[in-house]
Amino acid sequence: MSARDYVEKDYYAALGVPKDASASDIKKAYRKLARDLHPDTNPGGEERFKEVSEAYDVLSDTAKRKEYDEARSLFGSGYRPGGYAGGGAPGFDLGDLFSRAGGQAAGGLGDVFGGLFGGGRSAGRAPRRGADVEADVTLSFADAVRGATVPLRLTTTGPCATCGGSGAAPGTSPHACATCSGAGVTSRSQGGFAFSEPCKACRGSGRTVDTPCPGCAGEGRAVQGKTLNVRIPPGVSEGSKVRLSGRGGAGERGGSAGDLMVTVHVSPHRLFARKGDHLTLAVPVTFPEAALGAQISVPTLDGSVTLKVPAGTSSGRTFRVKGRGVPGKGDLLVTVEVAVPARLSKEAEQALAAFSAAAPENPRAHLAEEVS
Ligand SMILES: [Zn+2]
Ligand SMILES: [Zn+2]
Protein backbone atom coordinates (compact mmCIF):
# COMPACT_ATOMS: atom_id res chain seq x y z
CA MET A 1 0.00 0.00 0.00
CA SER A 2 1.47 3.34 -0.96
CA ALA A 3 0.74 6.86 0.08
CA ARG A 4 -0.95 7.26 -3.26
CA ASP A 5 -3.32 4.44 -2.29
CA TYR A 6 -4.24 6.34 0.80
CA VAL A 7 -5.08 9.42 -1.13
CA GLU A 8 -6.79 7.78 -4.10
CA LYS A 9 -8.74 4.94 -2.55
CA ASP A 10 -11.96 5.34 -0.67
CA TYR A 11 -11.82 2.58 1.89
CA TYR A 12 -15.09 3.61 3.52
CA ALA A 13 -16.88 3.25 0.22
CA ALA A 14 -15.17 -0.10 -0.35
CA LEU A 15 -16.72 -1.42 2.86
CA GLY A 16 -19.95 0.51 2.41
CA VAL A 17 -19.75 2.25 5.78
CA PRO A 18 -19.96 5.95 6.69
CA LYS A 19 -16.79 7.85 7.60
CA ASP A 20 -17.72 7.90 11.26
CA ALA A 21 -18.50 4.18 11.42
CA SER A 22 -17.58 2.49 14.67
CA ALA A 23 -14.95 -0.22 14.83
CA SER A 24 -17.61 -2.84 15.34
CA ASP A 25 -19.65 -1.62 12.34
CA ILE A 26 -16.52 -1.81 10.22
CA LYS A 27 -15.85 -5.32 11.40
CA LYS A 28 -19.44 -6.37 10.73
CA ALA A 29 -19.41 -4.90 7.22
CA TYR A 30 -16.11 -6.56 6.45
CA ARG A 31 -17.21 -9.98 7.72
CA LYS A 32 -20.27 -9.93 5.56
CA LEU A 33 -18.39 -8.81 2.44
CA ALA A 34 -15.55 -11.25 3.05
CA ARG A 35 -18.03 -14.09 3.30
CA ASP A 36 -19.86 -13.04 0.13
CA LEU A 37 -16.76 -12.33 -1.90
CA HIS A 38 -14.33 -15.01 -0.80
CA PRO A 39 -12.53 -16.33 -3.93
CA ASP A 40 -13.24 -19.93 -2.93
CA THR A 41 -16.97 -19.44 -3.24
CA ASN A 42 -17.05 -16.49 -5.59
CA PRO A 43 -14.36 -17.00 -8.26
CA GLY A 44 -15.05 -13.75 -10.13
CA GLY A 45 -14.77 -11.54 -7.08
CA GLU A 46 -11.03 -11.58 -6.46
CA GLU A 47 -10.40 -7.92 -7.28
CA ARG A 48 -13.23 -6.79 -5.07
CA PHE A 49 -12.15 -9.18 -2.31
CA LYS A 50 -8.66 -7.70 -2.40
CA GLU A 51 -10.05 -4.18 -2.29
CA VAL A 52 -12.22 -5.05 0.69
CA SER A 53 -9.36 -6.77 2.51
CA GLU A 54 -7.09 -3.81 1.92
CA ALA A 55 -9.74 -1.41 3.17
CA TYR A 56 -10.32 -3.50 6.27
CA ASP A 57 -6.61 -3.83 6.93
CA VAL A 58 -6.39 -0.05 7.21
CA LEU A 59 -9.71 0.82 8.81
CA SER A 60 -9.53 -1.91 11.46
CA ASP A 61 -6.22 -0.59 12.77
CA THR A 62 -6.79 2.55 14.85
CA ALA A 63 -3.39 4.03 14.03
CA LYS A 64 -3.61 3.29 10.32
CA ARG A 65 -7.17 4.59 10.16
CA LYS A 66 -6.03 7.85 11.75
CA GLU A 67 -3.22 8.21 9.21
CA TYR A 68 -5.61 7.45 6.41
CA ASP A 69 -8.19 9.98 7.59
CA GLU A 70 -5.46 12.60 7.93
CA ALA A 71 -4.09 11.90 4.47
CA ARG A 72 -7.56 12.11 2.95
CA SER A 73 -8.47 15.34 4.66
CA LEU A 74 -5.13 16.88 3.79
CA PHE A 75 -5.14 16.00 0.11
CA GLY A 76 -8.81 15.47 -0.55
CA SER A 77 -9.49 13.03 -3.32
CA GLY A 78 -7.85 15.09 -6.07
CA TYR A 79 -4.17 14.90 -5.41
CA ARG A 80 -2.03 17.56 -7.13
CA PRO A 81 1.70 17.14 -6.68
CA GLY A 82 2.50 20.79 -7.28
CA GLY A 83 0.14 22.09 -4.68
CA TYR A 84 2.09 21.29 -1.57
CA ALA A 85 5.72 21.29 -2.58
CA GLY A 86 6.06 24.95 -1.70
CA GLY A 87 5.71 24.98 2.01
CA GLY A 88 4.12 21.92 3.42
CA ALA A 89 1.10 22.10 5.62
CA PRO A 90 1.78 24.09 8.75
CA GLY A 91 1.81 22.00 11.84
CA PHE A 92 1.64 18.73 10.01
CA ASP A 93 4.60 16.49 9.53
CA LEU A 94 4.37 15.29 5.96
CA GLY A 95 7.52 13.26 6.21
CA ASP A 96 6.09 11.38 9.09
CA LEU A 97 2.93 10.61 7.21
CA PHE A 98 4.74 9.37 4.16
CA SER A 99 7.29 7.34 5.97
CA ARG A 100 4.60 5.39 7.68
CA ALA A 101 2.12 5.13 4.90
CA GLY A 102 4.71 5.02 2.14
CA GLY A 103 5.88 1.44 1.92
CA GLN A 104 7.41 1.36 -1.50
CA ALA A 105 7.93 4.97 -2.41
CA ALA A 106 8.07 4.24 -6.16
CA GLY A 107 5.23 5.93 -7.95
CA GLY A 108 3.65 7.27 -4.79
CA LEU A 109 3.80 10.57 -3.08
CA GLY A 110 7.08 9.49 -1.57
CA ASP A 111 8.68 10.21 -4.95
CA VAL A 112 7.49 13.74 -4.99
CA PHE A 113 8.41 14.55 -1.43
CA GLY A 114 11.23 12.09 -0.89
CA GLY A 115 13.99 14.56 -1.67
CA LEU A 116 12.35 17.30 0.29
CA PHE A 117 11.90 15.36 3.47
CA GLY A 118 15.07 13.41 3.71
CA GLY A 119 14.19 10.13 1.94
CA GLY A 120 15.72 6.88 3.04
CA ARG A 121 12.58 5.74 4.71
CA SER A 122 11.86 2.14 5.24
CA ALA A 123 8.26 1.66 6.11
CA GLY A 124 7.81 0.59 9.64
CA ARG A 125 4.25 -0.54 9.26
CA ALA A 126 3.16 -1.00 5.69
CA PRO A 127 2.29 -4.59 4.84
CA ARG A 128 5.13 -6.31 3.07
CA ARG A 129 4.80 -9.17 0.62
CA GLY A 130 6.72 -12.31 1.57
CA ALA A 131 9.86 -13.31 -0.29
CA ASP A 132 9.76 -15.50 -3.38
CA VAL A 133 11.40 -18.79 -2.57
CA GLU A 134 13.27 -20.96 -5.05
CA ALA A 135 13.61 -24.68 -4.78
CA ASP A 136 14.80 -27.58 -6.90
CA VAL A 137 13.16 -30.94 -7.27
CA THR A 138 14.35 -34.02 -9.14
CA LEU A 139 11.73 -36.30 -10.63
CA SER A 140 12.00 -39.72 -12.18
CA PHE A 141 11.36 -39.78 -15.91
CA ALA A 142 7.96 -41.41 -15.41
CA ASP A 143 6.87 -38.92 -12.73
CA ALA A 144 7.82 -36.03 -15.00
CA VAL A 145 5.61 -37.49 -17.73
CA ARG A 146 2.65 -38.29 -15.52
CA GLY A 147 2.91 -35.46 -12.99
CA ALA A 148 3.54 -36.10 -9.33
CA THR A 149 3.00 -34.75 -5.87
CA VAL A 150 6.36 -34.44 -4.19
CA PRO A 151 7.20 -33.51 -0.63
CA LEU A 152 9.50 -30.51 -0.70
CA ARG A 153 11.49 -29.60 2.37
CA LEU A 154 11.89 -25.85 2.56
CA THR A 155 13.41 -23.46 4.96
CA THR A 156 11.67 -20.12 4.94
CA THR A 157 11.41 -17.16 7.22
CA GLY A 158 7.97 -16.90 8.72
CA PRO A 159 6.20 -15.75 11.84
CA CYS A 160 7.91 -17.25 14.86
CA ALA A 161 5.91 -20.22 16.13
CA THR A 162 6.80 -19.54 19.78
CA CYS A 163 5.46 -15.99 19.99
CA GLY A 164 3.14 -15.91 16.99
CA GLY A 165 5.22 -13.15 15.44
CA SER A 166 4.99 -10.58 18.22
CA GLY A 167 8.62 -11.02 19.29
CA ALA A 168 7.61 -11.03 22.95
CA ALA A 169 8.22 -14.02 25.19
CA PRO A 170 5.13 -16.16 25.78
CA GLY A 171 2.99 -14.62 28.53
CA THR A 172 4.19 -11.10 27.77
CA SER A 173 3.21 -8.71 25.00
CA PRO A 174 4.95 -5.94 23.11
CA HIS A 175 4.04 -2.35 23.88
CA ALA A 176 4.40 0.93 22.08
CA CYS A 177 7.95 2.25 21.91
CA ALA A 178 8.46 4.99 24.52
CA THR A 179 10.86 6.98 22.33
CA CYS A 180 8.55 7.40 19.33
CA SER A 181 5.19 6.72 21.01
CA GLY A 182 4.69 3.80 18.69
CA ALA A 183 5.04 5.80 15.49
CA GLY A 184 8.21 4.04 14.37
CA VAL A 185 9.76 7.35 13.33
CA THR A 186 11.19 10.32 15.14
CA SER A 187 11.08 13.86 13.79
CA ARG A 188 13.09 16.98 14.18
CA SER A 189 12.48 20.42 12.73
CA GLN A 190 14.95 22.31 10.68
CA GLY A 191 14.46 25.42 8.58
CA GLY A 192 10.71 25.21 8.73
CA PHE A 193 10.59 21.59 7.58
CA ALA A 194 10.05 18.51 9.63
CA PHE A 195 12.54 15.74 8.99
CA SER A 196 11.79 12.24 10.10
CA GLU A 197 13.85 9.12 10.40
CA PRO A 198 13.23 5.60 11.60
CA CYS A 199 13.23 5.46 15.39
CA LYS A 200 16.54 4.11 16.62
CA ALA A 201 15.15 2.72 19.84
CA CYS A 202 12.72 0.33 18.15
CA ARG A 203 14.37 0.19 14.72
CA GLY A 204 11.26 1.59 13.11
CA SER A 205 8.85 -1.05 14.33
CA GLY A 206 7.10 1.25 16.80
CA ARG A 207 7.08 -1.50 19.39
CA THR A 208 9.42 -2.72 22.07
CA VAL A 209 9.43 -5.93 24.04
CA ASP A 210 10.71 -6.25 27.59
CA THR A 211 11.37 -9.96 27.46
CA PRO A 212 12.38 -11.04 23.97
CA CYS A 213 10.92 -14.32 22.75
CA PRO A 214 13.52 -17.08 23.14
CA GLY A 215 12.48 -18.64 19.83
CA CYS A 216 13.36 -15.64 17.64
CA ALA A 217 15.38 -13.34 19.90
CA GLY A 218 12.59 -10.76 19.67
CA GLU A 219 12.59 -10.57 15.87
CA GLY A 220 9.12 -12.01 15.51
CA ARG A 221 10.28 -14.01 12.53
CA ALA A 222 12.19 -17.23 12.50
CA VAL A 223 13.75 -19.58 10.00
CA GLN A 224 11.43 -22.52 9.79
CA GLY A 225 11.71 -25.85 8.12
CA LYS A 226 8.50 -26.97 6.56
CA THR A 227 7.50 -29.70 4.20
CA LEU A 228 5.19 -28.72 1.40
CA ASN A 229 3.47 -31.22 -0.81
CA VAL A 230 3.95 -29.73 -4.21
CA ARG A 231 1.91 -30.79 -7.21
CA ILE A 232 4.04 -30.93 -10.34
CA PRO A 233 1.85 -31.04 -13.46
CA PRO A 234 2.27 -33.75 -16.13
CA GLY A 235 4.73 -33.11 -18.93
CA VAL A 236 7.45 -31.12 -17.21
CA SER A 237 10.92 -31.46 -18.66
CA GLU A 238 14.43 -30.76 -17.47
CA GLY A 239 14.73 -27.11 -16.42
CA SER A 240 10.96 -26.46 -16.32
CA LYS A 241 9.93 -23.90 -13.76
CA VAL A 242 6.70 -24.31 -11.84
CA ARG A 243 5.39 -21.27 -9.99
CA LEU A 244 3.19 -21.94 -6.98
CA SER A 245 1.69 -18.64 -6.01
CA GLY A 246 1.36 -17.90 -2.33
CA ARG A 247 3.54 -20.84 -1.26
CA GLY A 248 6.71 -18.81 -0.65
CA GLY A 249 7.75 -16.76 2.36
CA ALA A 250 5.10 -15.39 4.73
CA GLY A 251 4.13 -11.75 4.32
CA GLU A 252 4.59 -9.24 7.11
CA ARG A 253 1.90 -7.16 8.76
CA GLY A 254 -0.86 -8.63 6.66
CA GLY A 255 1.08 -8.63 3.35
CA SER A 256 0.49 -11.51 0.98
CA ALA A 257 2.83 -14.50 0.88
CA GLY A 258 5.51 -14.74 -1.79
CA ASP A 259 5.60 -17.38 -4.50
CA LEU A 260 7.44 -20.67 -4.58
CA MET A 261 9.38 -21.18 -7.79
CA VAL A 262 10.32 -24.79 -8.32
CA THR A 263 12.96 -25.72 -10.89
CA VAL A 264 12.39 -29.28 -12.06
CA HIS A 265 15.13 -31.75 -12.92
CA VAL A 266 14.32 -35.00 -14.62
CA SER A 267 16.36 -38.20 -14.37
CA PRO A 268 16.97 -39.82 -17.75
CA HIS A 269 15.30 -43.14 -18.59
CA ARG A 270 17.19 -46.13 -19.87
CA LEU A 271 14.77 -46.71 -22.77
CA PHE A 272 12.59 -43.67 -23.33
CA ALA A 273 13.38 -40.10 -24.24
CA ARG A 274 11.13 -37.05 -24.66
CA LYS A 275 10.22 -34.90 -27.64
CA GLY A 276 7.92 -32.28 -26.19
CA ASP A 277 4.86 -34.15 -24.99
CA HIS A 278 5.79 -37.27 -26.95
CA LEU A 279 7.92 -40.13 -25.72
CA THR A 280 10.41 -41.67 -28.10
CA LEU A 281 11.70 -45.21 -28.17
CA ALA A 282 14.07 -47.05 -30.51
CA VAL A 283 13.12 -50.70 -31.14
CA PRO A 284 15.38 -53.15 -32.99
CA VAL A 285 13.74 -55.46 -35.54
CA THR A 286 15.28 -58.23 -37.62
CA PHE A 287 15.60 -57.93 -41.37
CA PRO A 288 12.96 -60.66 -41.94
CA GLU A 289 10.53 -58.84 -39.58
CA ALA A 290 11.04 -55.59 -41.47
CA ALA A 291 10.81 -57.26 -44.87
CA LEU A 292 7.93 -59.66 -44.19
CA GLY A 293 6.02 -57.66 -41.57
CA ALA A 294 5.51 -58.65 -37.96
CA GLN A 295 3.59 -58.01 -34.79
CA ILE A 296 6.10 -56.92 -32.19
CA SER A 297 5.69 -56.18 -28.51
CA VAL A 298 6.95 -52.74 -27.43
CA PRO A 299 7.16 -51.36 -23.91
CA THR A 300 5.39 -48.15 -22.84
CA LEU A 301 5.47 -46.44 -19.46
CA ASP A 302 2.33 -48.41 -18.61
CA GLY A 303 2.90 -51.97 -19.80
CA SER A 304 3.51 -53.34 -23.29
CA VAL A 305 1.52 -52.85 -26.46
CA THR A 306 1.60 -54.76 -29.75
CA LEU A 307 2.84 -52.81 -32.72
CA LYS A 308 2.15 -53.95 -36.26
CA VAL A 309 5.21 -53.53 -38.46
CA PRO A 310 4.00 -53.74 -42.07
CA ALA A 311 5.87 -55.73 -44.71
CA GLY A 312 8.55 -53.66 -46.43
CA THR A 313 9.35 -51.34 -43.50
CA SER A 314 12.70 -49.59 -43.83
CA SER A 315 15.06 -49.11 -40.96
CA GLY A 316 14.45 -45.77 -39.24
CA ARG A 317 10.72 -45.62 -39.89
CA THR A 318 8.73 -44.18 -36.97
CA PHE A 319 5.35 -45.46 -35.78
CA ARG A 320 2.98 -43.63 -33.52
CA VAL A 321 1.34 -45.34 -30.57
CA LYS A 322 -1.53 -42.98 -29.70
CA GLY A 323 -1.99 -41.75 -26.17
CA ARG A 324 1.13 -43.26 -24.66
CA GLY A 325 3.04 -40.02 -24.09
CA VAL A 326 2.26 -37.22 -21.64
CA PRO A 327 -1.30 -37.97 -20.47
CA GLY A 328 -3.89 -36.27 -22.62
CA LYS A 329 -1.31 -34.64 -24.84
CA GLY A 330 1.36 -36.92 -26.31
CA ASP A 331 2.01 -40.19 -28.08
CA LEU A 332 4.76 -42.78 -28.06
CA LEU A 333 6.93 -42.52 -31.17
CA VAL A 334 8.55 -45.89 -31.93
CA THR A 335 11.42 -45.89 -34.36
CA VAL A 336 12.35 -49.31 -35.70
CA GLU A 337 15.96 -50.07 -36.44
CA VAL A 338 16.98 -53.11 -38.42
CA ALA A 339 19.48 -55.01 -36.31
CA VAL A 340 22.29 -56.69 -38.17
CA PRO A 341 23.67 -59.78 -36.43
CA ALA A 342 27.35 -59.55 -35.66
CA ARG A 343 27.75 -63.30 -36.11
CA LEU A 344 25.88 -65.78 -38.26
CA SER A 345 25.47 -69.48 -37.92
CA LYS A 346 26.44 -71.61 -40.91
CA GLU A 347 22.77 -72.19 -41.71
CA ALA A 348 21.88 -68.50 -41.50
CA GLU A 349 24.77 -67.63 -43.76
CA GLN A 350 23.62 -70.14 -46.37
CA ALA A 351 20.07 -68.86 -46.15
CA LEU A 352 21.24 -65.29 -46.72
CA ALA A 353 23.36 -66.33 -49.65
CA ALA A 354 20.27 -68.00 -51.13
CA PHE A 355 18.23 -64.82 -50.45
CA SER A 356 20.87 -62.71 -52.13
CA ALA A 357 20.78 -64.88 -55.21
CA ALA A 358 16.99 -64.77 -55.29
CA ALA A 359 16.80 -60.96 -54.88
CA PRO A 360 19.64 -59.50 -56.91
CA GLU A 361 18.30 -55.88 -56.97
CA ASN A 362 21.00 -53.24 -56.40
CA PRO A 363 19.63 -50.65 -53.89
CA ARG A 364 22.32 -48.17 -55.00
CA ALA A 365 21.51 -48.23 -58.71
CA HIS A 366 19.98 -44.72 -58.56
CA LEU A 367 23.17 -43.27 -57.07
CA ALA A 368 25.16 -44.27 -60.16
CA GLU A 369 22.48 -42.72 -62.39
CA GLU A 370 22.59 -39.43 -60.49
CA VAL A 371 26.33 -39.10 -60.99
CA SER A 372 26.56 -40.09 -64.64
ZN1 LIG B 1 9.34 -15.49 18.74
ZN1 LIG C 1 10.49 3.79 18.60
pLDDT, one tens digit per residue, over 357-366 is 998 888 888 8
Q: Nearest ligand, CA of residue 181?
A: 2
Distance CA 283, CA 315 (A): 10
**Per-residue confidence (pLDDT) for residue 2, from 0 to 100:** 56
Q: Which ligand is nearest to the CA of 203?
A: 2
**102 has pLDDT over 70:** no
Query: pLDDT confidence of 97, banded at 50, 70, 90?
Result: very low
Q: Which residues surround ligand 2, an ion (CB under 5 A)?
A: 177, 179-180, 199, 201-202
Q: Which residue has the higher pLDDT, 75 or 292?
A: 292
Q: Which residues contact 370 (CB under 8 A, 6 or more apart)?
A: none
From the CA of 164, the nearest ligand is 1
Nearest to 281 by CA among 146, 138, 141: 141
Decide if 183 contacts 243 (C-beta within 8 A): no
Closest ligand to C-alpha of residue 179 is 2
User: What is the pLDDT confidence band of residue 82, given thresholds at 50, 70 and 90?
Assistant: very low
CB atoms within 10 A of CB 182: 19
- Identify the burial level of 160 via C-beta atoms within 10 angstroms of its C-beta, where 0-12 means exposed, 13-18 middle and 19 or more buried: buried
Q: Which pLDDT score, from 0 to 100, does residue 123 have?
A: 44
pLDDT score, position 330: 96
pLDDT value for 107: 36
d(CA 259, CA 250): 9
| Ligand 1 is an ion; residues with CB less than 5 A from it | 160, 162-163, 213, 215-216
Instruction: Kindly report the pTM of this predicted structure.
Output: 0.50
Q: How far is the CA of 199 from the centre of ligand 1 (A)?
A: 22
C-alpha span between 277 and 234 (Å, rounded): 9
Q: Give the residue, 139 or 47, on which the prediction is more confident.
A: 139
Cα first-last separation, the chain: 81
- Enumerate the β-bridge partners of residue 132: none
How many angstroms separate the alpha carbon of residue 172 from the centre of ligand 1? 11
Q: CA 30: distance to chain centroid?
A: 28
Q: How far is the CA of 75 from the centre of ligand 2 (A)?
A: 27
Asked whether the predicted pLDDT for residue 25 surpasses 80, the reply is yes
Ligand nearest to the CA of 214: 1
Q: Are 281 and 156 in contact (CB under 8 A)?
A: no
36 Cα to the center of ligand 1, angstroms: 35
Ligand minimally distant from the alpha carbon of residue 200: 2
Distance of CA 208 from the midpoint of ligand 1 (Å)? 13
* Cα 270 to ligand 1 centroid, rounded to whole Å: 50
Q: Identify which ligand lies nearest to the alpha carbon of 201.
A: 2
- Three-point CA angle 207, 208, 212, nearest 5°: 130
Task: Share the mean pLDDT of the chain.
Answer: 80
C-alpha 170 to ligand 1 mean position (Å): 8
Task: Give me the mean pLDDT over the 363-372 stretch.
Answer: 82
Q: What tens digit of pLDDT does each residue of 291-349 get?
A: 999 999 999 999 999 999 999 999 999 999 999 999 999 999 999 999 999 999 999 99
pLDDT (tens digit, 9 = 90+) per residue, 209-259? 888 888 888 888 887 777 888 889 999 999 999 888 888 877 776 778 888
**Separation between Cα atoms, residue 339 and residue 284, nearest integer Å:** 6
How many angstroms separate the alpha carbon of residue 222 from the centre of ligand 1?
Answer: 7
φ and ψ at residue 38, rounded to 5 degrees: -55, 130
Q: Give the containing element (helix H, strand E) for 73.
A: helix 62-75
